[in-house]
Amino acid sequence: MTTIQICFLLLLSLSFIIILGFIYKVWKVALFADGGPKPSISRLAKLGRLPAERAEISRWAAYLHRVSGFAIFAFLSLHIIDVSTFAFSHSAFDELHKIYATWPMRLFECGLLFALVFHALNGIRLIFADLFDVGIRKSNILLRALLVISIVTTLGGSYIILQPVLN
């Protein structure tokens, strides 16, 4: 393994650690915003409402939207560094891109594909909900549809991404 590959893997590992830290922070905020793990009067009041009125799926979609956006940002930062090696050395760029042919990186790309598709579609759903003032019920229907589309698209894309490694 070359020095440039080791440096890239260190940066990738650092990115994963930062993303996991961000996920932990979002999780802690979610627990605090939802009343925490202990029962409270506000939490019990929430349970008395219909699930559509609680809009819990939309809240979890917002958390996933934050995490996917942050993960995409981390990838783009790493991608800029990755592509900039071409300006300094063509051979270093080629060595660095040999890492992308490995199966762990292919799995990472599958996760990135889900993050990109979900983040884009959920952003469109949020814009649509704001512009046309759809209610919670219709917004939840759109969210379920975009989750299905995201999963199906990710599975199809993952098949294509993993094809060279599986053969």
Residue 119 lies in a domain: yes
User: For residue 55, with 0-12 CB atoms within 10 Å meaning exposed, 13-18 middle and 19 or more buried, which class applies?
Assistant: middle
Range of the domain at 72: 3-31+54-166
The arithmetic mean of pLDDT across residues 132-139, rounded, is 83
CA distance 67 to 79: 18
> Per mean pLDDT, which range of 29-38, 55-64, 67-76, 135-144 is the poorest?
29-38
Q: What is the CATH number of the domain that holds 77?
A: 1.20.1300.10
- What is the tens place of the pLDDT at every residue in 106-121? 999 999 999 999 999 9
In which band, very low, low, confident or very high, does the pLDDT at 49 lie, cut at 50, 70 and 90?
low
Number of independent structural domains in the chain? 1
- The pTM score is 0.81
